[in-house]
Structure 1
Amino acid sequence: MERGNTKHGALLDERMAQETRGNVRGTAGGRAEEWKTPEPAGEDQPEVTFAPGGYGRGVPAGIGSVEGEAFSRFGSYIGLSAFPGNRAALESSARTLEAPDDVMRRLAALPDGQIFENAAQAWEASEGRNA
């Protein structure tokens, strides 16, 4: 025995099901009302030239750029627990995470005795040194 809604007729039930089909099935662009569609970024949005979080002037622009990818790779081999820390702490963390030689060379080029608060500071201090 098929159960249906006793408040509506079969025609109204079918129409209501069609109205929500896109939302229920999750098809792309299935939003029934235009106001539910997210707006694209406007022309008045500022261009991001530094990594989110505002670490400083030494953070390269954007993921996808050569500099941005190099910075990301560098930072991914330094554990968060190493910060704040000096060169020895950063090198120890990088060894634990099995950092490649180029990252280890960059860390070895850091000035001794300086404390780094984050990867951006270490990147900036090692920029252009034996990388």
Structure 2
Amino acid sequence: MNKERFFEILSAYGADPARWPTGERAAALAFKEAHPDTAFALQNDAARLDDALEMARLAPPPAGLQAAILAAGQAETRFAPSWARLAAVLALSAGLGLGWAGAGMSGASEGDAAYALAFSSLEEPAFDEVNDFLGDEASQ
């Protein structure tokens, strides 16, 4: 057992030798006997950390807390209130109405929109020959 391994055991398992791994407990105790000053300082630091962790433990929850939470969850309704459904229907209706009305306000016909959509990718340089061909076709 060396100082580094003794420190690893204290860091992982704490200062209480009963929590140390059984396979290394005897070697760790022998290291403690052989190097009392070093072992005492390391074990003292580990004991202070153990105490701090013990004080930081949360108190167990009250006995009826779990049952109260489960009961409150089951008491909730599965459906939204009627005003929320009405608000959703109104928002959907307004969106559909504005979308339908806005489509006719652009001044372009459906054919123009379909043509623009179909040939919008031909603006890329890779389609220069196709554009030239279409330009020749359009002039005839």
TM range (shorter): 0.3 to 0.5
Whichever of the two has the greater Rg, that structure is: 2
For normalisation by structure 2, the TM-score amounts to 0.31
For normalisation by structure 1, the TM-score amounts to 0.33
Q: Which has the higher helix share?
A: 2
